[in-house]
Structure 1
Amino acid sequence: MNCYCGNTILYSECCGKIHHNIHQALTAEQLMRSRYSAFVLANGAYLMQSHHSSTRPIKEKKEIVKWAKSVQWIKLEVLETSKGKPDDTDGIVTFNAYFYEKGKVDIIHEKSAFLKENNHWTYLGLSK
């Protein structure tokens, strides 16, 4: 089965590797894709681990997992990346995440900021 993030390789060779070892995400885009796959799988532990410590929503973990399980994820589109390469310390990824909820298709359109923390990529939050 192809990876949930839209790459045409197996989950175990793509986001699955990153879910088992966050240091496998060499770019901000790879981390963002792994977070999308974690939403598809309702993997709250990984969503917290991959979130920057300064903005991590620890108290909301249960609600995030509950919501992730309540929707049907359709696809991810990466629209643009800025920086976020292996030698960078920050990056921005703009994407659309499509999902089905309460009888209709909806889209999360986000321009996300990523920072390296403890020598691995993390999601900081919305880019300004």
Structure 2
Amino acid sequence: MAYCYCGSSQPYTTCCEPYIKGIKKAPTAEALMRSRYSAYAVHAADYLWETTAPKERKYHSKAAMLEWAKSNQWLKLEILTATETVVEFKAYYLDSNLKAQVHHETSTFIKEQDSWYYKDGTY
């Protein structure tokens, strides 16, 4: 059994994959954040784009999301705190030079028409 990339100890096929494939909607901001991390790990740029808040998309590029996903080896996600709309996390990865990196972010999420979206993050 392959565990989910998000660190939930659940199988990927029943954890984040149904969200990434559009079978289900993430029920919480934390679930969306976890699925977005998994999307980076599996290079699912369409999902990353679609789960970015529509008003924020002009600041992001699907091509850049895909490049960032592919240029790193995603190792581990650590959720530090989570509220209804804010998730603080650390994403551990190896960069293109195989140097260990940690991306520490506090992300804000919004819910619009029954769907959660990534709004922005501070580092």
Please give the TM-score of this superposition, normalised by the length of structure 1: 0.87
Residue type matched to 2:109 in 1?
Answer: F
Q: 1:52 to 1:114 in 2, by over 3 A?
A: same
Q: Is the 8 A contact 1:22 1:50 kept in 2?
A: no
> Can you give the 5+ residue segments of structure 2 that lack an aligned partner in the other structure?
none
Instruction: Note the alpha carbon deviations across 1:15-42, whole angstroms, 9 max, x for none.
Output: 0111123753111000000000000111
SS in 2 for 1:24: coil
Structure 1 runs of 4+ aligned residues shifted over 3 Å read none
Q: Larger deviation: 94-103 or 21-30?
A: 21-30
Distance (whole Å) between structure 2 residues aligned to residue 59 and residue 77 of structure 1 = 24
- State the identity as a percent: 39
Distance (whole Å) between structure 1 residues aligned to residue 67 and residue 22 of structure 2 = 24
Distance (whole Å) between structure 1 residues aligned to residue 16 and residue 58 of structure 2 = 22
Please give the TM-score of this superposition, normalised by the length of structure 2: 0.91
Q: Is the 8 A contact 2:41 2:69 kept in 1?
A: yes
Q: 1:58 to 1:42 in 2, by over 3 A?
A: farther
Q: Is the 8 A contact 2:48 2:65 kept in 1?
A: no
Structure with more of its chain in helix, by fraction: 1
> Can you give the 5+ residue segments of structure 1 that lack an aligned partner in the other structure?
85-90
Report the Cα offset of residue 67 of structure 1.
Answer: 2.0
- What residue number does 1:94 align with? 88
What is the root-mean-square deviation in Å for CA atoms of aligned residues? Answer: 1.8
Q: 1:71 to 1:57 in 2, by over 3 A?
A: farther
